Structure 1
Amino acid sequence: MNTTNQNNISTLKLLLAGVVPALLFCILFYDNLFHLKPFGLNVPLSLAAFYLLMAAAFGKKFFRLLVRAPFHSVYAVLLSITFVLFNDPVLLSINACLIILLVGEQIMLGTGQALYAPYSVHMVGDSLSCWFSLSFGGIGGAFRQYRNENGSRFSGILIGITIAVPILFAVIPLLLSGDAVFAHFFTAAFGSLEWGDIIGRVLIALALFVLFSGLFWSLANRAPRKPPVSAAPAAKKERTIPFSASLIILFALSAVLAVFCAIQFFYLFSSRVPAGVTYAEYARSGFWQLLGAAVIVMLTVLLLLRFGCPCTPAAFQLRRILAAFLLGCTLILLLSSFSRMTLYEQAFGFSQLRLFTQFFMTALFAFLIIVILRLWLPRIDLKKCAFFCFMTCYLILAFWNIDAFIARENIKNQGKKADISYLTTLSADALPYYIGLLDESDFTITIIPEDEFQYDTAAYQYLGNDRILLYQDDETLRQAWHLRRMMRSLESSAGDWRYFNVGREAAQEALAANPQLIENIDKIKEALTAGLS
């Protein structure tokens, strides 16, 4: 296909760049968003397909794009793999957002369209500009290219598709009802689709075709920004905090934290406590307060360094030493908070919030070390270091399989005393570790007429129609509700390659080994559903 002088991407490539991702979305993601099926293998496959599409559309330009922001691809690919391995909904939601942001900023950096310097919080603005500004802004140019190419050939294609779609909606149902073999192959290829789904998929596909056509046209035809923001001369920083004020703040904080750190070494880290206080009471509290104090101190030091007025070399050296000392004390604060949290977990078990907090402490600890080095090595770019530090720590968390870790460790440390009700609220990754502690007899129910009910026999729920559901207790009913919700998610994705997930496969095997438990939970669900209807 020949291109015109105004078009930097051939019309055929532009057409494919609009059609392929639209079709892939309808095949791979429609059920995830509109039928709430869990994600799986479809996420890394779609990311790989998008990169291949970029390579086919732009060739060498695409590889230059990868070279300019290589770590964005590495992080995005690694995050996409977590959808095949794990099921924690909080982490997977964050992973999805990060993948979109990383790929969007990578495109903007590689094509010279970036509004801000790389590796900063402004990546959110660049990504939104990519997915929205370039997409919507390029729609007009893309369709002008379709209309003007080779005597309106592509305009004819689009008109033909627009007319063919409603005709197919009328013909396909007749063919499905008229021939069983055709209906079998159609169902095998597309599943049991309802007409609402078919119409929805078509509308989504048309909308995405328009948006991706606009995006690729913009990427191909918009000239790079000159000069790039990253190459622009840095504006002179305003210095508004006098040296005397900085000195007072640093001295005051240093004095308080020096005393606090001394107490930590004398008591907490040496397992000694003053009379009248038990070590358990002393160590298993205060971690949230200490984490908050560490964050406040770190932000204070960074603001003093950023806005502190110029001073003599000797005064500058003093300010740097005090800042380094204060940041060192902040490291002790984080260590104290981390150790307290660890002791608390040993006594009361692990939870998502506690582990998320510990990972944040770890990332903050690593970043503070970099900030201390920055005091003596001015060439260190704090923005880039913060990006890599927190992204790397988050990747470790994303691959930790946190739900499985919580279930395994809580049961190992607490045995039957572990909080099973909490574990059932976790994802399918945790199920294989606690299902052995579930007693199937606890989920046995009895439905009796209301006039035969004795109020002191057991917990109960009124179902209506003069019927009463008896069960063990409220905790058992909550466990059954969470387990049934998980089972429904497992059933919806079973046997479909698009949603393959290692964690869900292990959970399916664990449930298959407990058929009576499944049957009892299903009975509870059916009874409650009948009562609510």
Structure 2
Amino acid sequence: MTIAPPQPARPTPGDFWPRRAWRRDRTSMAPRPIVLAAVAAGVVAALTLQVTVVGLGYAVTGAAVAVAVFATRRTMPSAAQAAAIFGALALLAVLGVRGAGWLAAVCVALSWVVGSFALVGGRTWTGLAVGSFALWFTPLRVVRWTRRGARRWHSTGKVPVGRAVGVAAVSAVLLLVFGSLFASADAGFAELLGKAAPSVHVSNPFGRFVLGVVVCGGTLGAAYLLRRTPRVDAFAPKPGRPVARWEWAFPLALLDLLFLGFVIVQLTVLFGGSSHVLTTADLTYAEYARQGFWQLLTVTALTLVVIAVAVRKAARVDAVDRTLVRVLLGLLCVLSLVIVASAIHRMSLYENQYGYTRLRVTVMVTELWLGLVFALLIAAGVRLSGRWLPRAVLASAVGGVLLLAVIDPDAYVAGKNVERFDETGRIDVSYLSSLSVDAVPALDRLPEPERSCALYRLARQVEDESVWYEYNAARDRARELLAAHPVRSCDRVARGNS
């Protein structure tokens, strides 16, 4: 009798997840404290979160969600979870300090990834990637989970829904009546109450209600993921089938030789400095630095792909294979570090010649981060063990973004351009006016009319925050500077546009 081969696990209907990764859940019920905490987090988001305004509201909402998800669980978070929670909240806190919208978007996106890791974990590259999308697949499960919990609450009858609604209504009436009386009795208390009561300043009630519902549902989904965690690493591909030694060693050896030849040439460039560019025929700064940088950045990224494929295909059974892996891949990583240094050198030359921009500073930081990734790869290759590598790379990304926030890219770019203006008399006020309010302190040092031309557009972005959760340190500092030195009309084009 022949035995049929096992069939692949099918996803649960409506779940899109195979059972080996996330089993069906027909019995668990949402505890009442979790639901109440999720509702509270939704209320906090509806009252404090301003999607279009960079401010403290993001950190406040993130903290409310973190408390609702983790504080309602009996077990304490692990060290990795605690570090991830701290990192996610630190990224959201950047929005209360810096005013650059692009930096805020990067921080929010990375905070989502780190927060997802705190919920579902992940030790592989695939696990980290799948875990970042896990929350999007929870709505159906969360609805059933909450419905089963509501049935249990109704059957116990300890706190009837009608009485809970009545208590809430009575509490609201008492606060409204006595709060109004206290506000009319004391002007200082009225001002404090006005800033502390976001409901007074609700500009889009329907939008805020929808936002609160979304955050409440997302909080419930996060709480469910923490308690019924999918095995995201189950999606990771199985170890690759090793190939013959010559099949992987020969291409890597040739690639190492190619890298070595390029690096030998680059070493003369690195030590030659700007004189090499100026003395080379038909070679300008723009051709040498800008085009070369993007090509080397592409080489760096493709090298990571080559290393990933080689690790899957290279056999590591005997000592000879392990030695070859260490030597060939280690040499490739070391040579890649020199290429990273060459790319950074090219961009540095370009910035010194043509000035600093937000894009140039950002890609240089990215290249530095890629250099750190190669250093981590070298460390993993020494022991031929990289289980810790995905988490280390994620942690380095968080540290890199936080370091970028400390550097304050827009302020750094503005300061460098102001220094360049002092030395050369050339400045692009049109570009500088497109920066965020982070650049105001540096641009305030410009003489007129360049100062007013650079700050004219930014002066309209620093209105007073009506409530505390809209506070942003960069806007507050810019508002003080512009109030002390008002912007004049930009009546003529700044001289010496670069």
The bucket for the TM-score relative to the shorter chain is 0.7 to 0.9
What do residues 46-88 of structure 1 show as CA deviations (whole Å, max 9, x unaligned)? 3333344446533x42x2x243522202211321221221111
1:347 equivalent among 315, 328, 353: 353
Q: Is the 8 A contact 1:28 1:498 kept in 2?
A: yes
Distance 1:84 1:210, change over 3 A: closer
Out of 238, 241, 253, the position equivalent to 2:240 is 238
Instruction: Say yes or no: does 1:514 pair with 2:485.
Output: yes
Distance change in 2, residues 1:367/1:189 (3 Å): closer
| Matched positions, count | 451
Task: Give the AA of the match of 2:396.
Answer: C
Match of 2:106 among 94, 105, 111: 94
What is residue 45 of structure 2 aligned with on the other side? Answer: 25
Residue 507 of structure 1 deviates from its aligned partner by 0.6
Given candidates 413, 432, 437, the residue that maps to 2:441 is: 432
1:377 corresponds to:
383
Greater RCO (CA < 8 Å, at least 6 residues apart): 2
Quick one: distance in 2 between partners of 1:340 and 1:510? Answer: 36
| Structure 1 residues 487 and 211, CA gap change in structure 2 (3 angstroms) | same
- Find the partner of 1:498 among 462, 465, 469: 469
**Residue identity in the other structure for 2:103:** L
Classify 1:435/1:159 alpha carbon distance in 2 versus 1 (closer, same or farther; 3 Å).
Answer: same
Give the letter aligned to residue 276 of structure 1. Answer: A
* Residues 30 and 148 in structure 2, CA contact (< 8 A), matched pair in contact too: no
Q: CA RMSD in A?
A: 4.2
With normalisation by structure 1, the TM-score equals 0.71
| Distance in 2, Cα, partners of 1:353 & 1:378 | 36
1:283 Cα shift?
Answer: 4.9
- Deviation of 1:147 after TM superposition, in Å, equals 3.0
Which of these residues, 103, 111, 115, is aligned with residue 103 of structure 1?
115
Q: Secondary structure at the match of 2:128?
A: coil
1:48 aligns with 2:63: yes
Per-residue CA deviations over 1:289-308 (Å, capped at 9, x if unaligned) read 11112222232133112223
The one-letter amino acid paired with 2:155 is: N
In structure 2, relative to structure 1, the CA distance for the partners of 1:224 and 1:189 (3 Å cut) is closer
- Evaluate the alpha carbon distance shift between residue 347 and residue 136 of structure 1 in structure 2; reply closer, same or farther with a 3 A threshold: farther
Superposed CA deviations along residues 381-412 of structure 1, whole A, max 9, x for unmatched, are 22223222322222211322111111111211
Give, in whole Å, the separation in 2 of the partners of 1:239 and 1:43: 46
Between 48-57 and 89-98, report the one with greater CA deviation. 48-57
1:390-448 CA-to-partner distances (Å, cap 9, x unmatched) read 222222113221111111112113334122211111110101211343635997xxxxx
Secondary structure at the aligned position of 1:437 is classed as coil
- Unmatched 5+ stretches in structure 2: 1-26, 492-498
For 1:316 and 1:206, the matched residues in 2 are separated by: 54
Task: Look up the SS of the partner of 1:432 in the other structure.
Answer: helix
SS at match of 2:462: helix
| Secondary structure class of the residue paired with 1:417 | coil
Q: Closer, same or farther in 2 for the Cα pair 1:262/1:302, shift >3 Å?
A: same
Given the alignment, which residue of 327, 337, 350 partners 1:321? 327
- Residue pairs, 1:299-310, within 5 angstroms: 299-309=305-315
Counterpart AA for 1:26: A
Q: Cα offset for 1:144?
A: 2.2
Aligned partners of 1:139 and 1:210 also within 8 Å: no
> Identity, % of aligned pairs?
19
SS at match of 1:379: coil
CA contact (8 A) 2:256 2:331 kept: yes
- How far the C-alpha of 1:213 sits from its partner, in A, is 5.6
Unaligned residue ranges in structure 1 (runs of 5+): 1-5, 444-475, 524-533
Q: Aligned partner of 1:44: which letter?
A: A
| 1:489 paired residue number | 461
Q: Partner of 1:269: helix, strand, or coil?
A: helix
What pairs with 1:335-484 in structure 2 (closer than 5 Å)? 335-381=341-387, 382-415=389-422, 416-437=425-446, 439=448, 483-484=456-457
Task: Decide whether aligned partners of structure 1 residues 89 and 507 sit closer, same or farther in structure 2, where only a CA change above 3 A counts.
Answer: same
Q: Distance in 1 between matches of 2:317 and 2:225?
A: 48
Q: Which moved more, 1:340-349 or 1:412-421?
A: 412-421
Shift of 1:194: 8.2
1:147 maps to amino acid: H
Q: CA deviation at 1:157?
A: 4.4
Q: Take 2:129 and 2:363, find their aligned partners in 1: how far apart are those partners?
A: 21
1:457 is aligned to: none
